[in-house]
């Protein structure tokens, strides 16, 4: 019998019950996707749900990928502003 990796209620996957999380591989954005994301970020730093859904569909990304990209970009932007 094959042993299945158990999924916890939190959605985390564990290997051999040792508490190591299986993570999704890091998203690699194409240059066209990055260009469009950066362009949109210059217009607005926050996207409403319909805007996020539309942008994700246009770029072939998930809404979560777009949301997290914007979160990370805002964080980096604030850090740069703080440094002067």
* Alpha carbon distance 58, 17 (integer Å): 40
* Alpha carbon distance 8, 20 (integer Å): 12
Q: What is the pLDDT of residue 23?
A: 85
What DSSP string describes 13-27?
BBSTTS-PBP-PPPP
Whether the model pTM is above 0.85: no
Look at residue 14 in the predicted model and tell me its pLDDT.
54
Rounded to whole angstroms, how far apart are CA atoms 37 and 67? 11
Q: For 35-80, how does the pLDDT look when each residue is reduced to its tens digit (9 = 90+)?
A: 999 999 999 999 999 999 999 999 999 999 999 999 999 999 999 9
**pLDDT above 60 for 13:** no
> Domain coordinates of the chain in residue numbers?
52-83
């Amino acid at each position: 019998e094959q042993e299945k990796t158990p999924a916890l209620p939190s959605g985390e996957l564990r290997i051999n019950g040792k508490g190591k999380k299986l993570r999704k591989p890091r998203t690699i954005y194409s240059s066209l996707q990055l260009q469009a994301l950066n362009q949109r970020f210059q217009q607005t730093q926050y996207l409403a749900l319909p805007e996020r859904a539309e942008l994700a569909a246009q770029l072939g990304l998930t809404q979560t990928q777009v949301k997290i990209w914007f979160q990370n970009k805002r964080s980096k932007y604030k850090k740069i502003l703080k440094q002067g």
